[in-house]
Amino acid sequence: MAKKTKKQQSGGTPATVALTAAGVDFTVHAYDHDPSHPSYGEEAAEAMGVSPERVFKTLVADVDGTLTVAVVPVAGQLDLKALATAVGGKRAAMADPALDERTTGYVRGGISPLGQRKRLRTVLDASASSFPTICVSAGRRGLEVELSPEDLAKLTDAVVVPVGRT
């Protein structure tokens, strides 16, 4: 079962530190990560008892040679063509996981769109706007942060367009 704490004041991950510094309301959900679970995002949704449409995964793609973050529901997939179009590119492909980790400072399954080592351009799937709050990784496996999609978009300078597909 997920454990909730409200608005951490200090410590935490770079993502929660960034949220605290920005003065944004958020809730942290911690759960015991099961390494044998086939999907980090689906595991998070199940552990928190939240619809998979409201839990978003952070994916790193290479768009014409530039790393770009896509934040899409765990219930679906990233549309690479739509991602490329969203940032004015021609071609997108998933980035190398080792490069994702080096660039963001997070490990796969725990990459957050917030508090990254190197800030990457970000695209948030438009479906996020249909919820008052969404959940994204808080920067490690077994830790999610819940916040408004508007705050996430503002803090990451995200373009909000449809880039997910079911």
Q: For 71-116, what is each residue's pLDDT tens digit?
A: 999 999 999 999 999 999 999 999 999 999 999 999 988 999 999 9
Pick the residue with more confidence: 121 or 38? 121
| Count of CB atoms situated within 10 Å of the CB of 154 | 12
Distance CA 143, CA 136 (A): 9
Please give the model's pTM, rounded to 2 decimal places. Answer: 0.91
Which amino acid belongs to residue 151? D
Q: Any idea what DSSP says for residue 118? A: S
